A and B are shown apart, each in its own frame.
Chain A
Amino acid sequence: MSLTSIIFTLFCYLSLLLFVIGLSYKIIQYWQTPAPLKIPIAPAPLTRTGVLVRMAAEVFLFKSLFRASKWTWFFGWIFHWALVLLFIRHLGYFWPGDTPEVLLKTEPFKYASFPLVIGLTGLLGRRIFVDRVRYISAPSDYLMLILLIAIGASGMLMTFALYYPDMGLVYSFAEGLVTLNWSELPSELIFLAHIFLAFTLIAIFPISKLLHGPGVFFSPTLNQVDNARKRRHISSWAKKKETDKEVSIEQNSEKDG
């Protein structure tokens, strides 16, 4: 194997390692941090089913964002769905052995790269031209969009502008990562850039604002049932405080320190 192939192979694994460890750490952290009070935000569902419906509307339709800003919603929504389609489209490369029929049918998903780049460009445009959004943007906020655009653009150049890499090598490299049967990767610069940027994105997921992905599911304002009067909601630390301390009816009077 060439040095480039070795470096890239190691880089891919390192990225995945950072992704898995970092994301697990964050998810466990979110899971273990108690939500001491009931703070669902209106319009708050009164049942668990209601919460599932609300969550689905947020995750799949970006309902709150739709109410907030139609442009941001439009660009953001088409970008995210395009990303999902392209993710599915890429599964075939990594599939060990014969690619399943269903993944072969995802060929047309390649056109999702257009809404992907359009959405991202729209979001970048808002960040640059809307004074309020420009004010709240840090360099990393621009870089994240540019990174994603670069991944999309490099992919599109390979797919639509005939900068095809050697597809046989692509398959064996990607499959090799999964089956630990490492092999040479294509040497085209554009392919190397695509891979490098994509795995960079994966690596920085747990240390960046990409945490909004898992975060949305843990957001107490969205995932809580509005039933505080019916069921007592109490955190572990508040419960501990309650039981450790001798409860006194007068504990709120002046004498209590």
Chain B
Amino acid sequence: MTEIGIDKLPTYIKIPAIQKDSMAGDGPFKASAEIQEQLGFPEEKVENWQQVAIEKMAETTSKYRSVQVFLDACVKCGACTDKCHYYLGTADPKNMPVARQDLFRSVYRRHFTFAGKYFPKLVGAKELDDAMLDDWYNYFHQCSQCRRCAVFCPYGIDTAEISMAAREVMNVIGVGQKYSNQILGRINKIGNNLGMPEPALIDTLLDLEEEIEKETGVAVKLPLDNNNAEVLMVTPSADFFAEPHIDGLIGYAKVFHQSGVTWTMSSYASEAANFGMFIGSYEVMRKGALRIRKAALDLGVSRVVVGECGHAWRVAYSFWNTLSGIGGGASDEYSLKLQKQLDSNYPQPQHIIEFTYDLIQKGILTFDKTKNDHRRVTFHDSCNVARGSNMGNIENGQFILPREVIKAACNHFSDMPKATIKASTFCCGGGGGLLTDDLIELRIKGAMPRMQALKQSQENDGVNTLAAICAICKSQFSKVLPNYDFDPYMIVSVHQLVSDALVLSDKSQTKAEDSL
């Protein structure tokens, strides 16, 4: 801990005085030529990179109203300056949302505005030189695109939009980030972020089925590529192998088992996550969405349900209909086929939390809440779910439904301090393509505000369990909790809580088989 330089957790979140360049550096590892090539980006920094970058900026501002308006509208009021967890954790002024945007905005002003062209000093316009590009690479990879700043901005300026735009400009000139781009290469090639091939997936699922049967005596299935299923379940691939994610997957399986609704996963689209969003590429993001559309068409399912993954749910909820026409309104051949195939009685796609919540409302699931009595549970609102999506089609449903599911399965639930949850939730510190060991210092420091809130809940309510519905949050917390003297195993999937308390019956199993 000392080498990273974190003292004991403060009792309240102090707004630090700025410490210039405290997080200066080279940024995360850069993508190799091979990785860049897989995504169709230049293999190395192109010769005329400045020109290419400026042209790309012009294209971006003409295609994205968000970027164009956000670059113009900021008045530097300072409302966002103390809202970013990375600023609170590092005190580097370039981690203040407005200062991060200004790295991009100053170049925009220099090249695209009257004032910046003729009076650069007056309005803080700057050239995109080597030093600026280094700052871009370093500080746009210190943004988890969590959008907390946008909640507080009087104009709704969303730093994530700027950070995505900047990352795309960098990719186009051949300066990519290794972690995100490598993962995108894998999903395009193999179908999931881990690069887990089909045979390994089959083995994993069989092992899990055995494990569940041994533990519960009930034959709960985890079907793969089943052509007769109603539901296609798309989940982050971390659910297949990592703790605590895998217990969440077991939870989904048990819920489906009890529901009697037939389901399947797909070996072709074995990934809900879509890092195309992190690198700001509409095209790459669309590819990921089309992969899932193809799986849904091939398997002939009538519903698509998404597992516990934060940004995946934002992409699925907010973008899938745009990218692949899953919800209707698109007119190409495959969209039309999909629209005919999917059951319009359900929102498409649905979140597993919505699915489970519906079953709870209908009284289909029975819980033995005492199974979770050793737990004092709190819930971490994952940023992309909290600020970029909805559940249940009711106002603020994305905050209500997960809590209701937890309360159905647990007797002891309490929330963390109000300023750190729901729309104001603090990022785990590892989102937006930063969940890599080469950024571990940033990840630990950026987790500080969330850890501080957790500490308060631990002291006030005896909280010993932190539940989340995001694969990145779960991995990040497992890693950083010990740095703040917490038990790394206190982070669980919401569906692990469901899994532990759900009363299984063999009856619904036969019902499910009958319906096959």
B-binding residues in A (CB < 8 A): 26, 29-30, 33-39, 41-46, 50, 58, 62, 64-65, 67-69, 72, 76, 123, 126-127, 130-133, 135-141, 143, 207-209, 211-212, 215-216, 218-222, 226, 228-235, 237-238, 242-243, 247, 249-252, 254, 257
CB-contact partner of B318 in A38, A133, A215, under 8 A: A38
Q: Is the CB of A254 within 8 A of B79?
A: no
* 10 extra interface residue pairs, beta carbon distance < 8 Å, beyond A39-B318, A42-B422, A64-B153: A33-B65, A64-B156, A69-B78, A132-B93, A139-B123, A209-B75, A212-B154, A220-B65, A228-B318, A243-B331
Q: Can you list 6 A-B contacts with CB-CB less than 8 angstroms, sorted by A residue number?
A: A30-B69, A34-B65, A64-B79, A69-B79, A249-B294, A252-B290
Query: Complex: how many Å from CA A161 to CA B479?
Result: 66
Q: Is the CB of B158 within 8 A of A133?
A: no
Which B residues are CB-close (under 8 A) to A235?
A: 63
Interface centre among B65, B83, B153, B287 (most CB of A within 10 A): B65
Please tell me if B157 contacts chain A, counting CB pairs below 8 Å.
Answer: yes
- Measured CB to CB, the nearest residue on chain B to A232 is B329
Q: Is the CB of A65 within 8 A of B79?
A: yes
CB-contact partner of B155 in A215, A238, A249, under 8 A: A215
Which B residues are CB-close (under 8 A) to A251?
A: 287, 290
Interface centre among B155, B288, B396, B398 (most CB of A within 10 A): B155
Which B residues are CB-close (under 8 A) to A137?
A: 76
CB-contact partner of A231 in B158, B161, B329, under 8 A: B329
Which B residues are CB-close (under 8 A) to A37?
A: 282, 318-319, 322
Q: Is the CB of A232 within 8 A of B322?
A: yes
A-binding residues in B (CB < 8 A): 15, 17-18, 40, 61-66, 68-70, 72-83, 93, 96, 98-99, 102, 113-115, 119, 121-124, 147, 150-158, 161, 188-189, 282, 287-288, 290-291, 294, 297, 317-319, 321-322, 325, 327-334, 347-349, 386-388, 390, 393-396, 398, 422-423
Which A residues are CB-close (under 8 A) to B157?
A: 219, 221
CB distance from A149 to the nearest CB of B (A): 16
Q: Is the CB of B40 within 8 A of A34?
A: no
CB-contact partner of B74 in A33, A131, A209, A222, under 8 A: A209
Query: Complex: how many Å from CA A46 to CA B333?
Result: 30
Q: Is the CB of B115 within 8 A of A229?
A: no
- Measured CB to CB, the nearest residue on chain B to A43 is B423
- Measured CB to CB, the nearest residue on chain A to B121 is A139
- Measured CB to CB, the nearest residue on chain B to A251 is B290
